Structure 1
């Protein structure tokens, strides 16, 4: 069965005034149907962060997100299984506007954090888990890599204060 690529869908959706959210499931399981929203509702465009959010969703100060596996300093082989943990909040699919919820974004080899007042871009280095996923299989080239989690609200905007893990370093053989 042929399914259209993400990029061809984006072109179609932009021409009709609808935006495809840049969420992906890299866990190897079946992908869910993409969620479409009006561009005017979120101000979000795939890979864009220049449109600041007027409000950031608040997060409890006690909220904590961590990478369970792999551990910092680990030597692993690709594909790398990455497991996420969230305490003090609940994981919800992107688009779910409920208090104390969010969804994961995995930052891979990112030297500079993205803006905290705008929707996170969807790139090879900022991977969205808008389906509420809490783990993934990640294909990485041999060498040293950094991983960090950043929780986003229903519009992919980091919370206030940001709910972000420590950055870990792994080596892929």
Structure 2
């Protein structure tokens, strides 16, 4: 029994030492492993990425002031930056987020995921949304693989649509 415990402690120490050496060499990518292996280690900071000059995102066929029906097909356009799934850590890449009746979230934290902040982490370029009759605002924001907005923010114009 003591032999098994000694091996377990030795393995834990080896993993902890390897993790420390890896952090010295380069920042570690977020993992899904439990924090129990190194309780004193803090999670890597999520940070904004620089926005490529000239990059733009917009709605394809939807214009400000449009009267629409629900469900509504919304298509996204991206120019000057690479469209990539969430989790991709390549520079100048990211994916869309749709704000429905919401302001853009703070630029220094991941975009929340809720009914007003819809994520397209599989690099989708369109969606169909259900909207109640009345006036609604829509805005796109592009974010990096960690769902953190670019700096400066890469967002479409906020548009207003009326659902009949």
TM range (shorter): 0.7 to 0.9
Indicate the structure with greater helix content. Answer: 2
Matches within 5 A, 1:7-156: 37-38=31-32, 53=45, 55-110=47-102, 112-156=103-147
For structure 1, the 5+ residue unaligned runs are 1-35, 42-50
Q: Partners in 2 of 1:158 and 1:39 — Cα distance? A: 25
Contact 1:59–1:159 under 8 Å retained in 2: yes
CA distance in 1, matches of 2:86, 2:163: 30
CA contact 2:48–2:108 (8 Å) conserved in 1 = yes
Q: Give distance in 2, aligned partners of 1:131 and 1:54.
A: 20
Paired residues, number: 128
Instruction: With the length of structure 2 as denominator, give the TM-score of the two structures.
Output: 0.72
Paired with 1:121 and 1:39, the residues of 2 have a C-alpha distance of 22
The alignment yields a C-alpha RMSD, in angstroms, of 2.3
In 2, the alpha carbon distance for the partners of 1:143 and 1:152 equals 29
Q: Is the 8 A contact 1:106 1:126 kept in 2?
A: yes
Deviation string 1:69-98 (CA, Å, 9 cap, x unpaired) is 221111110001100001110110000111
Q: In 2 relative to 1, CA 92–171 (structure 1 residues): closer, same or farther, beyond 3 Å? A: same
Q: Which runs of 5+ in 2 are unaligned?
A: 1-29, 36-42
- Which is higher, the Rg of structure 1 or of structure 2? 2
After TM superposition, the score normalised by the length of structure 1 is 0.69
2:85, 2:145 within 8 Å by CA — same for their partners in 1?
Answer: yes
